[in-house]
Amino acid sequence: KDGYQAGVSNLVDSVTRPFGTHPQSQVFLDPSGDTVPGSGLPSANYPGFGWHTYRVEVQDKQARLLDDGVQIGIASSQQATISNGPLGLSSGQVVLRVSSIRILTL
């Protein structure tokens, strides 16, 4: 089965754009070769300041990333299903404050 990762990266302030870099959100599959062409692409994402509710929904062949209920990333697999684990949370070069984590099976 495919695994997946979903997240926000390249966080920069609202003015600084070194070499045209923008903050982005993305869902990508591992192995990447199983990704349906045209899905799993990064998109510009400007989360700003304050608390956000991020949600990853995985169903059948698709993983979606939502920020406060708005879809900010999606990837679809060419395989029958996407893996249901393991789960993890990571952060690099940014302070991440987490107030709660919930895992729901629907």
* pLDDT per residue of the chain (106 residues) written in tens, 0 to 9: 668 888 777 666 666 666 666 677 888 888 888 899 988 888 877 777 788 888 888 888 898 888 899 998 899 999 888 876 667 777 666 667 788 888 887 7
CA dist 3 to 30, 71, 87, Å?
5, 19, 10
This prediction's pTM = 0.78
What span, in angstroms and rounded, lies between the C-alpha atoms of 24 and 16? 14
pLDDT at 11: 65
Question: Across the chain, where does the E strand assignment appear?
Answer: 3-9, 24-30, 43-44, 54-59, 62-67, 70-76
Tokens of 3: 């695994």
